[in-house]
Chain A
Amino acid sequence: MTDVLIVGAGLTGLFASLLVAERGNAVTLVAQGRGGLELSHGCIDIWGRATPSRALSQLRKSHPYRLAGTAALHAALEFFEEITQQAEYPFPGSISRNLHLPTALGAIHPTALAPQSLAQGDLFDGTPFTLAGIDNLLDFYPQLAASNLRRAGIAVQSVLELPIPMDDTHHDFYTSDLAHFFDKPNWREEVARVWKPQLIGIKRLGLPAVLGLRDPQHVLEDLQERLGLTLFEIPTLPPSLPGLRLEVILRRRALNTGVHFIEGPRVVGRIDGGSDGRRVSGVVLQTVGGPRVYTADVVILATGGILNGGLVFQQDGRVQESVFDLPVNYDQGRGYWTTTSPIDSQPYSGYGLLVNDLMQPLDDKGAPIFENLYVAGGLLGGADRTMEGSRQGIDLATAYRAVEVALG
């Protein structure tokens, strides 16, 4: 049995911990914060710009997909589908053809896999649909979404504003507030009673993503049955419900399979081992009671990129890896990191650690720094995930590859 220590509790770290636990190994997951799932749309983007399966073989060799390999991606997706099936939160879709989902702004989001409630909004499905907002919800504007979809030539049957069955309606709601209400059967019964008369003649209805957090598939099916139509959800501003649901599912399974969570402390040091110092024998955590050492046979870094704190961009023009200060590939001097428009590709997006095809971080001569240290997810350089539409695919494939190599 291998003792594995994973740093980071985002999609990459959680997924890697499940893989390790699945194979009967001991796994400790250390995380300072919560990861970035609640900031995401909750789908699995693999390659947004073209047919994923065809595009991946043409990438340059330093791209994380090429390093992890197509086999790791396919195996990772297989395991991901198993996890989500068992959690009764299925993700329809495939790597050979992207779904085209409407966004809250009325743009089109190409993605490989999406939870069923989102996938039912696929614009390739020709069933006419209506978009509906919910009164007092701050983060969804169906008129705007419908206008933009129509400008792109997509027929939107009609736009509605649906009330919420509540005596005191003078409240602002965020999507997370409404999700807690939708988790309750009584609430759904009441909602269906109030909404149904307004939905006559509608076969397919798009709503902001608010349909429950704890058991969303059941909420979806229950509400569809009560209303007698097909529902689909559109994710909106963070906290994004589909992202939160994925986090809930992964954490639930991790706890059930014996993953040991240590949340809050920061990793502040490393114990090097091996006769030549080329092994990591443990990490030092800054706990409330002082520094504490955790030993491990294998360490996997999944601390993420700039947003999640894995990379730190300094005023003096350096970019640092935040836990072990491993070498980062970047352009020196902060004048080069950004461009003048947020919707362009940004140079900083591609910065990160360089690894070999075993997911081991490399020094400036291209040699692995430690035998038993592996890196996965957003910390890896060599990909502009935002513009490629590749973020979650890279997370899953590289996590799979790192675990596969680490466990032999």
Chain B
Amino acid sequence: MPVLSTQLLVIGGGSTGLGVAWDACLRGLKVVLVEQGDLGQGTSGRYHGLLHSGGRYVISDPTSARDCAVENRVLRQIAPHTIEDTGGLFLATPTDPIDFPGRWFAACQELGVSAEEITAAEALRLEPALNPRISRVFRVQDGSLDSFDLLHALTAAIKRAGGQVWLRHRVEKLILNGNTIVAAEIRALDTDELLTIGADFFVNATGPWAGQVASMADIQVPIALGKGSMVAMATRPIHTIINRCRPPSDGDIIVPVGTVAVLGTTDVEVQQPTDTTIEPWEVDFLLAQGEILVPQLAHQRPLRAWAGVRPLYRPTTVVLGETRELPRSQIILDHADRDGLQGLISVFSGKLTIFRLMAEQVMDMVCKHMSIAAVCHTAETPLTMKSRSFYKLPDRLAKLEVTTSHDLPQVVCECELVTRPAIEEALRFASTLDLDDVRRELRLGMGPCQAGFCAFRAAGIAHELAPTAPTSGGLISFLEERWRGMVPLGWGHTLRQMELTRRIYLELLQTHSLPEPTK
């Protein structure tokens, strides 16, 4: 079994793990990060896209609110290319608790969360699609943050700084020497090979899997899993983030992201990190709540639904209760203090908005243990990759419009304006020829037809680049992944779209009769 060694091994490639690895690289540590899936496959990629102003937590969780307000400003400085500055509104409707807006506004002022009251008429001028029966409206500094862009930027920054990111590598065993963790046994999922990595320190940033990873070192981490479902509408009737001004609850937010608007979220306790099945009632509830804020959503087509699993901390004192009631602030467990086990810190819970702060806090603790004097530089180091700034649809449209007809590139995915050169570049840039990786990078197949047309084209292009690859970029698994997001919305126009995809791939192309791919 090959043995490698590094100073710091980070387990988990979500925003927290990548943030820790980036922070460690900037402090001069030698870092390896392992992730069992692809970038954004876990909780970080399965969220609604909100860069919190802090307003959501001013009453229920003041520390989180204050942290969000600060980190919101930091991220706008260091990663502007991942953020659309939509601004946000908190709306009180006639059905919400009447005393809440007053208390909420006072708490914002006390905690330094910027909020400004505007009239309902002004709000309707800004966003004509809002419910005209709103009673009070506050403006906040929300934004919409593309987590795929963020995770890509973090990965690139880690690699630039000399760190390593290994996707599709799963930790199977933690190896102890006395009461110190010295190594991890890791399986490369593509080749099924086992290898061992020795390290001076380990960070468990595996989100909903944190309990399972900790248990490899015989440590109990009291974690509760709160599944949150979201629905993306095929249109974007509002351009500002719309929050319901009431205590945090199911279905209290609408986030405009790219070409769609995302309705979030539910909170249902589940037993497994992989349990992301969406129940019909969740979809119905989200649509009904969304309609209260923006009535015209009743006539729009839902495009796709997905669920993420929040890793929440359940202190032993709280035995029962809704996952919604559990704190949202970050949890950092130093297992040396807590369990007498040297060399491991677990970090989970928290919000994507404060991933950088969580990483800083973790690395301060790691450095203390390792007697390293380096300080954090992430708050002032830009993450933006200038060379890859064509992600936003309006940018793509602008770029295509200024192009003369002589060098107009082929548009392969009409919904998201993904061109052939962009796909070719992404396929070369990615370590695999997987169409789902291309999707995460370019939004291929994420528009109204959900890859019904472009999946075939992209498979053809992938095959031209790598003729020996037998699976054509995993065409069937790509279609299955798109299908799963439509199944919870399988009625009306969405089901018609699903049927069109089946007509194309089964009747016209006879995809199901292809011989099984050979490995």
Q: Which residues of A contact B (CB under 8 A)?
A: 36, 39-41, 45, 103-109, 136, 138-141, 143-144, 147-148, 151-152, 168, 170-172, 235-238, 240, 305-307, 312-315, 333-335, 337-338, 340-343, 346, 348, 386-387, 389, 391
Contacts and interface: CB of A to CB of B under 8 A. Distances in A.
Contacts of B499: 305-307, 348
Contacts of A306: 495-496, 499
A348 B499 CA distance: 10
B99 interface: no
A23 to B, nearest CB: 32
B467 A138 contact: no
Contacts of B412: 138
24 contacts: A39-B503, A45-B507, A103-B509, A104-B456, A105-B459, A138-B412, A138-B457, A139-B456, A139-B457, A141-B460, A143-B460, A144-B460, A148-B515, A152-B514, A172-B408, A236-B508, A237-B457, A313-B491, A334-B490, A334-B491, A337-B491, A342-B506, A343-B480, A348-B490
Contacts of A144: 459-460, 463-464, 472
Interface of B: 280, 284, 287, 405-408, 410-412, 453, 456-457, 459-461, 463-464, 467, 470, 472, 475-476, 479-480, 483-484, 487, 490-492, 495-496, 498-515, 518
A340 B476 CA distance: 12
Given A40-B503, A170-B406, A307-B503, 11 more contacts: A103-B509, A105-B475, A138-B410, A141-B459, A151-B514, A337-B495, A338-B495, A340-B487, A343-B506, A343-B511, A348-B495
A40 B500 CA distance: 10
Contacts of A103: 508-510
Contact of B508 (A40, A108, A307, A348): A40
Looking at B408, B480, B487, the one whose CB has the most chain A CB atoms below 10 A away is B487
Contacts of A314: 491-492
A315 B284 contact: yes
Given A237-B453, A391-B507, A342 B480 contact: yes
A387 B515 CA distance: 17
A105 B509 contact: yes
A341 B513 contact: no
Nearest to B463: A144
Given A106-B514, A141-B463, A342-B480, A337 B490 contact: yes
Nearest to A153: B515
Contact of B464 (A143, A335, A337): A143
Contact of A315 (B483, B492, B514): B492
Nearest to A343: B512
Q: Which 7 A-B residue pairings sit nearest by Cβ, starting from the closest?
A: A141-B460, A107-B510, A144-B463, A105-B509, A342-B483, A343-B512, A313-B491
A151 B470 CA distance: 9
Contacts of B410: 136, 138, 172
Contacts of A151: 470, 514-515, 518
Contacts of B280: 333-335
A170 B508 contact: no
A292 to B, nearest CB: 27
A364 B518 CA distance: 50
Contacts of A107: 509-514
Contact of A170 (B284, B407, B505, B512): B407
A41 B507 contact: yes
B500 A105 contact: no
A36 B453 CA distance: 16
A55 B510 CA distance: 20
Contacts of A387: 506
Contacts of B406: 168, 170
A347 to B, nearest CB: 10
A147 B513 contact: no
Contacts of A40: 503, 507-508
A103 B503 CA distance: 13
A343 B507 contact: no
A118 to B, nearest CB: 12
A143 B518 contact: no
A343 B508 contact: no
Given A40-B508, A107-B510, A343 B479 contact: yes
B461 A141 contact: yes
A338 B498 contact: yes
A108 B151 CA distance: 41
B510 A105 contact: yes
A314 B284 CA distance: 12
Given A105-B509, A105-B511, A386-B507, A342 B479 contact: yes
Contacts of A41: 507-508
B429 to A, nearest CB: 21
Contacts of B467: 143, 147
A401 to B, nearest CB: 23
Contacts of B492: 312-315
Contacts of A45: 507
A41 B510 CA distance: 11
Contacts of B460: 140-141, 143-144
A29 B502 CA distance: 28
Looking at B463, B467, B479, the one whose CB has the most chain A CB atoms below 10 A away is B463
A133 B433 CA distance: 22
B491 A152 contact: no
Nearest to A342: B483
Contact of B491 (A238, A315, A341): A315
Nearest to B468: A147
A141 B463 CA distance: 9
Nearest to B453: A237
A307 B463 CA distance: 31
Nearest to B507: A386
Nearest to B407: A170
A180 to B, nearest CB: 19
B503 A105 contact: no
Nearest to B284: A315
Contacts of A313: 490-492, 495
Contacts of A109: 510
A144 B473 CA distance: 11
Contacts of B470: 147, 151
B470 to A, nearest CB: 7
Given A141-B460, A306-B495, A171 B509 contact: no
B508 A386 contact: no
A386 B513 CA distance: 12
Nearest to B405: A170
A257 to B, nearest CB: 29
B480 A341 contact: yes
A170 B407 CA distance: 7
Contacts of A237: 453, 456-457, 504, 508
Nearest to B513: A107
Given A138-B410, A138-B412, A342 B501 contact: yes
